[in-house]
Amino acid sequence: MRVLGLETSCDDTGVAVFDSEHGLLAHKLYSQSQMHAEYGGVVPELASRDHIRKLLPLVREVLAEAAIAPSLARGPRLDPIGDAGTASGEIDGVAYTMGPGLAGALLVGASIGRSLAYAWGIPAVGVHHMEGHLLAPMLEPDAPAFPFLALLVSGGHTLLTDVRAVGDYRLLGESVDDAVGEAFDKTAKLLGLGYPGGPAIAAAAAHGTPGRFRFPRPMTDRPGLDFSFSGLKTAALTAAQQHMLDARTIGDIAFAFQEAAIDTLVIKCARALEQTGHTRLVIAGGVGANSLLRARLRELGGNSNVHVHYPRPAFCTDNGAMIAYAGSLRLRAGVEEGMAFSARARWNLMDLTTP
């Protein structure tokens, strides 16, 4: 089954074609981050408008790259995107991110995805964005087998989840305040490092002096698997207010912040592995692209005989491939939306069920 996947939940327009027999055929991403950088964060209305501008051209490019001309034979004779390619082949289903995310941005992907599926006479399915992230490591050669422990770390979520099967997720811990990616973004902003904050903090930290600042590892001194990152952000703010913010101090604060945030995640992963007895750990979501986190968790895995899986950095951050893949699993199981489409700005991952 060949599935076209559309991701528009935030500030990245992602499109991909996944084939259940041949794997990923094509994927492309258009990042709006430069546009939002001017405002220091994502401006929802601008994000929606830009998805409208970019989504169909990107679909056209991805279909051409996958050498696919969508078959119109089975559906109403409409061709909403014009001649999309020349080679034979077809798309069997469309998957779009239905939530959680920015309502307007989600609606662009949902309405275009639903419309393409209608025009092509094929089924459409709405995908949970975090399930997409969670299953992204399945696109890699070293795909994890079920069950496993998953650490989901993005701009909106910090979750530790027991994953028994697709759709069978049990929450072990989550952030009680800011998501870890959000803490990276806010700290970068207060240091004047721009948006998105994660890569900016990591780059500044590379020039930081170890030991000049030390920030707390929140909630690691008590039992449990929940996280809290707002205090860490405040510690960085206090340090920034008490010192002249020259390049050296910015690097030093970024270094201490990154160390504390990553340490906290690693400590909780170690604890969750111990509690659950899992021998496989999956890391996914934008913060999963952080090289310090990847290195530290690899080290943890090496020391405890746990196989650590993560997607390539481009599939840690938002992308269409993970949506095409997650959608293909549900479409193959016969799940599909009706003719109406909707978006869910808030949607709990634990509410999903096995297709």
- The footprint of ligand KG4 (CB under 6 A) covers 10, 154-156, 181-182, 184-185, 196-199, 202, 285-287, 289-290, 317-318
* Min dist. Cβ of residue 287 to ligand KG4 (A): 4
Cβ neighbours, 10 Å, residue 332: 14
Nearer residue to ligand KG4 within complex by CB, 235 or 284: 284
Nearer residue to ligand KG4 within complex by CB, 92 or 259: 259
The C-alpha atoms of residue 44 and residue 278 are separated, in whole angstroms, by 39
Pick what 301 binds: Zn ion, ligand KG4, none; C-beta below 5 to 8 Å, kind-dependent. Answer: none
Pick what 173 binds: ligand KG4, Zn ion, none; C-beta below 5 to 8 Å, kind-dependent. Answer: none
With binding defined as CB under 5 A, does residue 318 bind Zn ion?
Answer: yes
Tokens of 74: 């089975």
Beta strands in the chain (DSSP E): 2-7, 12-19, 23-31, 93-99, 124-128, 148-153, 158-165, 168-174, 280-284, 307-309
The C-alpha atoms of residue 204 and residue 234 are separated, in whole angstroms, by 18
Pick what 185 binds: Zn ion, ligand KG4, none; C-beta below 5 to 8 Å, kind-dependent. Answer: ligand KG4
CB 310 within 8 A of CB 149: no
The residues in 139-178 that bind Zn ion, with binding defined as CB under 5 A, are 154
Nearer residue to Zn ion within complex by CB, 5 or 208: 5
| 49 Cβ neighbours under 8 A, 6+ residues apart | none
Closest CA to 14 of 1, 32, 29: 29
Nearer residue to ligand KG4 within complex by CB, 84 or 95: 95
* Min dist. Cβ of residue 140 to ligand KG4 (A): 16
Pairing of strands 93-99, 2-7: parallel
| 145 Cβ neighbours under 8 A, 6+ residues apart | 280
Pick what 287 binds: Zn ion, ligand KG4, none; C-beta below 5 to 8 Å, kind-dependent. Answer: ligand KG4
Distance of CA 344 to the CA centre of its chain: 16
Nearer residue to Zn ion within complex by CB, 127 or 306: 127
Edge-to-edge strand list for the sheet holding 23-31: 23-31, 12-19, 2-7, 93-99, 124-128
Q: Among the candidate windows 27-35, 203-211, 246-254, 310-318, which touches Zn ion by CB under 5 A?
A: 310-318
Question: Count residues contacting Zn ion (CB under 5 A)?
Answer: 2
Pick what 167 binds: ligand KG4, Zn ion, none; C-beta below 5 to 8 Å, kind-dependent. Answer: none
* Min dist. Cβ of residue 191 to Zn ion (A): 23
C-alpha gyration radius of the chain: 21
Pick what 104 binds: ligand KG4, Zn ion, none; C-beta below 5 to 8 Å, kind-dependent. Answer: none
Closest CA to 103 of 143, 51, 54, 140: 51
Nearer residue to ligand KG4 within complex by CB, 154 or 161: 154
Find where tokens 């929140």 sit: 218
* Min dist. Cβ of residue 196 to ligand KG4 (A): 4
DSSP state of 226: -
Nearer residue to ligand KG4 within complex by CB, 182 or 259: 182
Pick what 181 binds: Zn ion, ligand KG4, none; C-beta below 5 to 8 Å, kind-dependent. Answer: ligand KG4
Binding site for Zn ion (CB under 5 A): 154, 318
